Amino acid sequence: MGTAIHRPSLQPLPALPWRWLAIPILLSLLGLLVWAEVHWLPDGLPREYATRASIVIIPPGGGPRVEQLADALGLPALDATAAKPGQLTSTVVDVTPADNQEVTHAEVGSQCIELATEPGHPQRGLLVTVVARGLDHSAIESVAAAWSDSLTARAEAAAPGVIVKPLPMLTVPYQFCAER
């Protein structure tokens, strides 16, 4: 009772010599793509690692001002290059052992911060950050750790009574200095 529907669009695929070869080739290419997306691209492309260590240095009451302390520690001068209060001032420093070819770049930045230790009487300190970059993750980690240890020792020698602690250990709220 129904009329057969003529569908001219549904033509059989034309025979091609590579017709059956095309499907495995396509599937192989898709498999290659999946492998590249999951393994080669995330892990295989050359990459440069970075590590960062931040240290807070709080000079003792009656001790040197943060600017003097930064100067004494050979840190980037707070006032020299900063365009705005609290802005990171940084410089490229040589913190790399001469025989370490895996570390390509290390940069130290310092910022003036105010810690809310007492209401209405913020205490000023230095937030010092070292960023080391290189092709070997463990090498740059050790460089950053060695530089952090060295800075801690120099700070304690430069200003007896100074408080030095890694940023994650800081429990007091802080903000960047509003004026210098």
Partner 1 sequence: MSSKSARADYWTCAVTGLRVHEATVPPLLVNAVTAIGFLLLGGLLSVLLALTRWEAVHLLPANWYYVTLTLHAWSMLGFWMIFFEIAILYFASSVVLQVPLASLRAAWLAYVVMIGGALLAAVTVLVQGDGWDQPLLTSYAPLKIHPLFLLGAIIFAVGAFVGLGLFFATVWRAQRADIERRSLPLVVFGAVVAAIIATESLLGGAVAYGWYFLYTIGVIPTIDAEMYRVLFWLLGHGSQQINLAAMVTSWYLLAYIAVGARTVSEKVSRTAFIMYALFINLGAAHHILSDPGVSNAWRIFNASYAVYGAVMASLIHAFAIPGSVEWALRRQGHTGLFGWLRNAPWGNPAFASLAVSLTLFGVLGGITGVTFGTEQLNMMVHNTLAIPGHFHATVVAGTTIAFMGIAYQVIQLIARRDLLSRQLATFQLYFYGAAMAAVSVAMIWLGYFFGTPRRHAATAALSIVRSPLLEAVLGIAAMLAVVGGILFLALAVLSLLGGSRRPVGPRLAPIAGGADARSTSTPSPEAAPVPHDLSGTLTLCLIFLALLLAIYATHWVNLASLWGVR
Q: Does 131 bind partner 1 (CB under 8 A)?
A: yes
The backbone region for 61, taken as left when phi is positive above 0, alpha when psi lies in -120 to 50, beta otherwise, is beta
Residue type (1 letter), 88:
L
User: Is residue 96 within 8 Å of 142, Cβ to Cβ?
Assistant: no
Q: Does 25 bind partner 1 (CB under 8 A)?
A: no
Q: What is the dihedral of CA 56, 59, 64, 69, to 10 degrees?
A: -20
Q: Does 134 bind partner 1 (CB under 8 A)?
A: no
Single residue of 57, 86, 89, 107 touching partner 1 by CB under 8 A? 107
Q: Does 13 bind partner 1 (CB under 8 A)?
A: yes
- Which of 146, 132, 145, 147 is closest to 102 using CA atoms? 132
- Which of 161, 169, 54, 57 is closest to 113 using CA atoms? 57
Q: Does 180 bind partner 1 (CB under 8 A)?
A: no
Site string for partner 1, 49-68 (x = CB under 8 A): xxxx----------------
| Smallest gap from residue 120 Cβ to partner 1 (A) | 27
Q: Does 3 bind partner 1 (CB under 8 A)?
A: no
Phi, psi of 3 (to 5 degrees): -90, 135
Single residue of 21, 25, 34, 172 touching partner 1 by CB under 8 A? 34
Structure tokens at 116: 């809310």
Single residue of 1, 4, 5, 16 touching partner 1 by CB under 8 A? 16
Q: 74 Cβ partners below 8 Å, 6+ apart?
A: none
Q: Does 45 bind partner 1 (CB under 8 A)?
A: yes
Applying CB under 8 A, which residues contact partner 1? Answer: 8-9, 11, 13-14, 16, 26, 30, 33-34, 37-38, 41-42, 45-52, 83, 88, 90, 105, 107, 109, 131, 133
